[in-house]
Homo-oligomer: A and B are copies of this chain.
Amino acid sequence: MLPVYIAGIGMSQFGKSSNTLVEIMEGAAARALAGSKIQDIEAIYIAVMNPEEFTGDANIASHVVEALGLTGIPALRVETASSAGAAALHAAFQSIASGYYRQVLVLGGEKMTHLSTSATTRILAEVIDAQERQCGATMPALAAMITEKYRRKHHISESRMARALCAVAMKNHAYGAHNPYAQFRQTLSKDKYLASKFVATPLRLYDCAPITDGAAAVILTAARTDILISGIGQGTGPVSLRERDSLSAFPATQIAARKAYQMAGIAPKQVDCAEVHDAFTPFEIIGTEDLGFFAPGKGGQAVVSGQTAADGILPVNLSGGLKSRGHPVGASGVAQIVEIARLLRGESAVKLKREPRRALAQSIGGLATNNFVTIVKKKAAAAIGAEGVIETFTVLHITPDGFLPPLALALIRDRKGALIMAQGEDITHLKIGREVYLRQVAGTYYFTVKSQLQKVRQAIRQLLGKKRSHTEPADGKKAANG
């Protein structure tokens, strides 16, 4: 598989828009292109959940490619309900990983606010099983039933559960206030949360993501950039609640996460920050458990104790999440990628305690029936610079505050003979005498063990170098003497 990189990101203002769906999408694409070196897109992967019913737009892929003035190039729509954005990104990923395309645009959008809340709720509810829908079940109703089951299964009191849900809403609103693209840019007080009406007990209005217009765009490329897509995974689950083995977790996320972690070659705790699909506040809590960040039943406590805040061990939804940034369904899966890219690039107003290197996005389709996990990794712009050798090392399992275990530490002897204390990018392949790459970020050194392939390359370079020096011995001597 060829590596796939992110070469551009763009978003529309999320909220209520007077523009058409296609115009909103056009705006996001224009921003992504404006901020990217890549202009000659080869294909467009489009995510819209239900343009037929929300805006009466069919054949949306052809409309979008035309609006962008790119008629002629391939464009197709990918749809998996509310995770369509992530699905389009994954399909686009494969088109580059296969070598078929070199650079493509992923563009998600939805326009919903022009309809009444009841009309929007009805259209969104079409993803639900027919029999359950017939009973009057809506998305908030099913989410509420999941929440209640989750609470009972983990023996959490009603008040503690409410505190956890409130903590998710308050945290996401607090961060959304810093996000220029967010629909809601006001913080949320506990009193205001508690004063809001129940939509479906135990979920209040502030537990539900809003109805939003918006679009987001990502440009993918086969050429190396600063952000690599290192892992992708998808999983599905039963549509109806009554067919499920678990009502307190989402196996579709677990399947997707397993695949993505395996592909990226990392464990959950190696993720530095995440965007988790908080269409309902309990989904963020369950999501962080399904993703392996916290043990089952412990996600709520993690939020309340600040572990998912910017200065916590695993910051979640620093963009404001769907809750505060807004949830134009087809766009959300792409918007999450835009947000984690902004965080890795340090473009976000919210800063983490330590520079993030690996970020994850989780997207839910329907009531967690079609879920995606995407992992991205920051590539050092010029990682191969200073080199050295491991003098000694350890893997720290009990770490100081602000450092997540296990933490690889090594004393590296650089080419000038100086010793440098550095953090390992990986805890495997540690051995005294092993060659490493070194890079410095904000005062901290990081090392990466040289791979076998790199060693072979180096050996070839040396061999070629020797040959050259054999043919030019005089010059070499002269230079050394001169």
Contact = CB atoms under 8 A, between A and B. Distances in A.
Smallest CB-CB A-B distances: 10 pairs:
A74-B234, A97-B98, A59-B127, A58-B126, A98-B98, A62-B369, A59-B81, A77-B79, A59-B366, A94-B95
A409 interface: no
Nearest to A60: B79
Contacts of A268: none
A61 B79 contact: yes
B76 A76 contact: no
Interface string A73-97: 1111111110000010011011111
Contact of A72 (B49, B63, B251, B365): B251
A127 B61 CA distance: 10
B59 A252 contact: no
A255 B255 CA distance: 39
A238 B61 CA distance: 11
Contacts of A99: 1, 97-98
A347 interface: no
Given A53-B52, A56-B126, A95-B94, A76 B71 contact: no
B73 A236 contact: yes
Contacts of A2: 98
A255 B72 contact: yes
Residue of A72, A237, A251, A252 contacting most chain B CB atoms (<10 Å): A72
Interface string A201-242: 000000000000000000000000000000010111111000
A12 interface: no
A243 interface: yes
Interface residues of A, number: 60
A62 B255 contact: no
Nearest to A53: B52
A99 B126 CA distance: 34
Contact of A366 (B62, B71, B365): B62
A332 to B, nearest CB: 15
Given A87-B76, A94-B100, A66 B370 contact: no
A65 interface: yes
A237 B71 contact: yes
A297 to B, nearest CB: 23
Interface in A254-304: 255-256
Nearest to A259: B74
A479 to B, nearest CB: 39
A76 to B, nearest CB: 5
Given A66-B243, A91-B76, A71 B238 contact: yes
A413 B66 CA distance: 56
A370 B75 contact: yes
Nearest to A101: B94
Q: How many copies does the complex hold?
A: 2
A266 to B, nearest CB: 18
Nearest to A254: B72
Given A58-B127, A59-B126, 14 more contacts: A59-B81, A61-B79, A61-B370, A62-B237, A71-B238, A72-B237, A74-B236, A76-B91, A77-B78, A78-B91, A79-B79, A97-B98, A97-B100, A100-B232
A236 B76 CA distance: 10
A239 to B, nearest CB: 5
A50 interface: yes
A309 interface: no
Contacts of A389: none
Contacts of A365: 59, 61-62
A60 B370 CA distance: 10
A253 to B, nearest CB: 12
A174 interface: no
A146 interface: no
B76 A77 contact: no
A50 B50 CA distance: 9
Nearest to A88: B76
A235 B72 contact: yes
A370 B98 contact: no
A73 B72 CA distance: 34
Contacts of A251: 72
Nearest to A252: B72
A43 interface: yes
Residue of A78, A91, A236 contacting most chain B CB atoms (<10 Å): A236
Contact of A66 (B52, B58, B238): B238
A23 to B, nearest CB: 13
